[in-house]
Amino acid sequence: MVSENFDLVVIGAGTAGCLAAYAAAKEGLSKIALVDRKPQKLIGKKICGDGIGTKHLDFLQELGFPIKENNILANIVETAHIISPDKKKDYTLPVQGQLAIINRHQFGQTLLEETLNQGVKLFENTTFKTMKRESKKLQMQLLKDGSETITVTTPLIIDGSGINSKIREELGGFDDNAQLKDEEQYYCYREICRIDSPPEIYVNNAIFEFSFDLTKGGYKWFFSRGNNEYNLGTGIPKSWIKKASPKDVYQNDMKNRFSDIDVIDGGGGFVPTRHPIPTHVKDNIILIGDAGLIVNPLHGGGLSPSLASGYIAGKIAATQVPNENLSENDLWIYNKKIHERYGLRYSILDLYRILLQNIPDGELNDALQKEYLPLGSIFYAREYDVLIKLSRKLGEIWSQLPNPRFNRLPEIIERVFECTNRYPTTPEELESWTKEYRGLFAEYYELIAVR
Ligand SMILES: Cc1cc2nc3c(=O)[nH]c(=O)nc-3n(C[C@H](O)[C@H](O)[C@H](O)COP(=O)(O)OP(=O)(O)OC[C@H]3O[C@@H](n4cnc5c(N)ncnc54)[C@H](O)[C@@H]3O)c2cc1C
């Protein structure tokens, strides 16, 4: 049995974990372990839509990651479209130069390589199994190559182990509010394909289609990788996948849509699709990326928040570890940053996710056609203030409509707005705040849920 001490252990070498370890090392922390259950050469290989804002790639390049040099970019799309279930309404978003489709494996390998260049020690093929508290430290059990047990001790764990984080679900002391309900995660089936003569709308574009009839309130995506290659997929809420398999729905649709598809790669994976959890920290623990459910709830897009949350956590680790300031209270600064950057906007977007998941196609067609649900503008409202202003303006129309899914929404948006702006400043206030916060989403869901 091997035993080692580290100043910081990061679980998961995905986008979040790499950025956390990288930032902590760059800011001066020296004994950092990065643990991943995959072999080194497969790290970064993940079933994904591969869409990310170009500004995040620029940020990485500025930090020193060789994004341009390593051929990370597959394509920059010209326009993005959101299309109604009856295909009669097409919102075109002016995303020129802003949305990239990347070569995902190469991207992950580049993040990893640069992180290891900072002196971080990688434990590849090594699964985090369990942990226990030992005075002011955490003792972790890792399993290498399926047989060798490694014990590591550290004052801080940053957990970037993805949607099924064991620390969030059972070991870290997070409560039920950190657990994903079935309707708060989508199973996505995705293929990378070659299509030689697709209809014009798919060429160099990114398309989203929402529908209750076809995807149970989930979505289909069609992302052009350039050179006749496409990243295509279908996501369906987990609460429905026994009745509607994403793979079957996807394959039936593709048969009808394209005549000449060559599949290069296919597979599935879960994405969280809800507001971030109320707290991402406990004594000696920080959750980042999917492990902290920090994703855009409308579609589960989590590449950019995983990069940012990892980077923020790594920087905080570098200042807090040397001073031994690692209590829940000391780490609250991370919660504050994540809440301001993502929690506020994603909380409002999560109400729109609940709406989209529970609106019949006929009503969605009407709402899109008559523009009282301008999905394009909602998707594109990247600033919190813009989203709130838009939602309030729309609320004036919704309050006149007969259905509670619309006429109750303005009031619930106001209450979520008011509640999120009172985000706790200390852990002591968290419990009562969480009850109110989670209750608001549950209330809207119960009001409109289609089961
Ligand atoms: C089908 C699909 C399509 C998507 N499309 C997009 C998109 O187009 N744009 C976008 O922005 N986002 C998209 N996402 C979401 C995005 O991929 C994630 O949000 C992002 O990868 C999260 O990064 P992460 O580092 O937090 O977690 P992950 O990328 O999941 O990394 C977790 C790492 O932890 C390791 N690990 C897990 N458990 C353990 C353990 N016990 N011990 C050791 N290591 C462990 C894993 O091997 C993995 O390397 C998509 C996701 C899916 C599934």
Residue 259: its pLDDT value, please?
87
Residue 1: its pLDDT value, please?
64
Residue 135: its pLDDT value, please?
84
237-382-74 Cα angle (round to 5): 75
Residue 260 pLDDT > 90: no
**315-358 residue pLDDT tens:** 999 999 999 999 999 999 999 999 999 999 999 999 999 999 99
pTM above 0.95, yes or no: yes
Residue 294 pLDDT > 90: yes
Q: Is 51 in the pocket of ligand 1 (CB under 6 A)?
A: yes
Q: Is 394 in the pocket of ligand 1 (CB under 6 A)?
A: no
- Shortest-distance atom of ligand 1 to CA 221: 8
**Phi then psi for 416, rounded to 5 degrees?**
-65, -40
14 CA to centre of ligand 1 in angstroms: 6
Residue 448: its pLDDT value, please?
95
- Count of Cβ atoms closer than 10 Å to residue 279 Cβ: 26
Residues 6+ positions from 175 with CB-CB distance below 8 Å: 434
Task: Report yes or no on 361 lying in a domain.
Answer: yes
Q: How far apart are CA 2 and CA 317, in angstroms?
A: 25
State the average pLDDT for the chain. Answer: 96
The residue nearest atom 8 of ligand 1, judged by CA position, is 49
As a whole-number percent, the residues of the chain with pLDDT over 70 amount to 100
- Shortest-distance atom of ligand 1 to CA 303: 11
162 CA to centre of ligand 1 in angstroms: 5
Residue 392 pLDDT > 90: yes
Residues 140 and 31 in one domain: yes
Residue 87: its pLDDT value, please?
95
Residues 140 and 260 in one domain: no
Residue 354: its pLDDT value, please?
97
- Shortest-distance atom of ligand 1 to CA 16: 25
Enclosing domain of residue 366: 343-448
Helix, strand, coil proportions of the chain in percent (round to 5)? 45, 25, 30
Residue 341: its pLDDT value, please?
97
Q: Are 337 and 309 in contact (CB under 8 A)?
A: no
- Give the three-class secondary structure for 423: coil
Q: Quick one: average pLDDT of 226-247?
A: 96
Q: Tell me which residue of 131, 129, 111, 130 sits closest to 120, measured CA to CA.
A: 111
Task: Report yes or no on 68 lying in a domain.
Answer: no
99 CA to centre of ligand 1 in angstroms: 19
Residues 116 and 18 in one domain: yes
CATH of the domain at 226: 3.30.9.10
Q: Tell me which residue of 37, 48, 44, 45 sits closest to 269, measured CA to CA.
A: 48
- Which one is predicted more confidently, 20 or 382? 20
CB-facing half-sphere around the CA of 271: CA atoms within 13 A: 28
348 CA to centre of ligand 1 in angstroms: 23
- Shortest-distance atom of ligand 1 to CA 296: 11
Q: Is 271 in the pocket of ligand 1 (CB under 6 A)?
A: yes
- Shortest-distance atom of ligand 1 to CA 15: 25
Residues 302 and 261 in one domain: no
Number of separate domains in the chain: 3
**103-155 residue pLDDT tens:** 999 999 999 999 999 999 999 999 999 999 998 899 999 999 999 999 999 99
**144-199 residue pLDDT tens:** 999 999 999 999 999 999 999 999 999 999 999 999 999 999 999 999 999 999 99
Task: Report yes or no on 72 lying in a domain.
Answer: no
Q: Is 188 in the pocket of ligand 1 (CB under 6 A)?
A: yes
Residues 251 and 311 in one domain: no
The residue nearest atom 18 of ligand 1, judged by CA position, is 302
Query: What DSSP line would sit under 346-375, residue for residue?
Result: HHHHHHHHHHHHT--HHHHHHHHHTTSS-H
User: Which of 9, 37, 207, 346 maximizes ligand 1 atoms within 8 Å of its Cβ, making it the mutation to test the pocket?
Assistant: 37
Q: Is 142 in the pocket of ligand 1 (CB under 6 A)?
A: no
